[in-house]
Amino acid sequence: MEDLQQQTLSLLPKKIVLDIYYLNKVCLAIVKKLKGTFGKTAKKMYRLLSRYLAYLPPEIIVDIVSQQGIYKVNLKLLEGPYGEFLQRVTDYPLISIGSVRGDEPLVRLKDISELRGVLIRSIQLDSQDFSLLSLLRRLKTLRLAIQGWYVQLIIFMCGYEYTAEMNRIFKYAPEVCPASRVSVNISTDLNMKDKCPNLLTFLKNVLALKEHPQKRIKFTSSKNFHKDLKANIVEAFYNGRISHLKCEEALDENELSPFLAFMDEKLKMPFTKMTCKFKKESKEFEAFMRKDIDAILVKRSRSSTTYILKKSDFSIKIVFGNYNSTVAIDIMSNEYKEQIEAENREAKKAMEEVAKEEGYYDKSGPSGISWGPEAKRPRL
């Protein structure tokens, strides 16, 4: 049991580690009552995960699943067995169907127990790689990999080929997705409900806030938002599951409008960002902002035009790039904005105090360039 304690506790903040060290007696029956992936896994009696979490209180398990993320570099500095154990965590840069990079060997997983102490930086699933001869051996590795802990997930599905293989990978996929960055490139004419229902269910769970309370993701779509997922993406954008939404394909007024229809109520999260391109030019975008969105033009320059849409508790800043038709949308609560401005003022004040102590003075010309420290006058 000591090894299991080390592995679990190495993932937790120091204060929680100390609490659990003295109060960690919980029977497996409580774990079985949990909802979500861990509860289902315990019911299936996977020996590893059941024993791995059996002695932790349910509220701690919820924290492990839902927290924003823990900087493991800092945990390595902990004294004692927990910090020492974390030094032995295996780090895989990439798990995919094809080769990794250069001469790096492919990662092969045969059993769920091999995920112990493993951090996967990125999982990449590209349907174009499914023609490889080693596909059958790779499918098991990929099915196991998405059961583990990974930072980034990339999915390419650019046609109807190999949809069955992609569907098999996600047949037993967990409801909880630990990734903080998710990128999809799915053909817009692909009928996911018929061809890839398991993948569709998985992506809907990825976007569901109830499965990941307080945990946010950066979500990127290389193509336009797929019709089977768009409603889920819009909901995730509004409820705070998505912190940064990016669409690499140009959108028109009808496609962009759903992401600007904020109600005048308190935001679920203090900030959210979206970037995309607009299909038309600046004149059409200005008319769209004025007539459909009711945004106010606040700044115009040669390179960009800025609009503001104010609500009671927050504001939406929309910047249109005049040269490349890019659109950057920043939604920020008034409280969070004041906090950022206060931090900027404190940082500026600290820099001025340091400059003053070092003998610098503000003697800048029209370009704003300071001429550096003032020469000390010789004593008479």
Which residues make Cβ contacts (< 8 Å) with residue 137, sequence separation at least 6? 108
**Can you point out the beta strands (E) in 161-286?**
181-186, 217-221, 242-251, 271-278
Q: What is the pLDDT of residue 86?
A: 54
Query: Which backbone phi and psi does 355 adopt, to 5 degrees?
Result: -65, -40
Taking the C-alpha atoms of residue 92 and residue 109, their distance in angstroms, rounded to an integer, is 12
Distance set, CA 309 to CA 101, 207, 285 (Å): 46, 26, 15
**Within the chain, which residues score under 50 in pLDDT?**
1-2, 5, 18-32, 34-39, 41-55, 57-59, 62-72, 75, 81-82, 99-103, 361, 363-378, 380
pLDDT tens per residue across span 312-364: 999 999 999 999 999 999 999 999 999 889 888 888 887 887 777 666 545 44
Q: Where are the domains of the chain?
A: 2-67, 89-249, 267-370
Instruction: Tell me the HSE value of 9 on the side-chain side, using a 13 A CA sphere.
Output: 26
Q: Are strands 149-157 and 217-221 parallel, antiparallel or unpaired?
A: unpaired
Task: Give me 163's structure tokens.
Answer: 């949809």
Q: Is 94 helix (H, G, I), strand (E, B) or coil?
A: coil
Which amino acid appears at position 135 of this protein? L
State the Cα–Cα distance between residues 8 and 149, nearest whole angstrom.
13
Spatial distance between the Cα atoms of 123 and 349, rounded to a whole number of angstroms: 44
**Assigned token pair, 273:** 């960002």
Distance CA(278)–CA(299), nearest Å, equals 19
Round the average pLDDT of the chain to a whole number and report it: 76
In the chain, at which residue ranges do the beta strands (DSSP E only) sit?
Answer: 90-92, 95-96, 118-126, 149-157, 181-186, 217-221, 242-251, 271-278, 296-300, 304-310, 314-321, 326-333
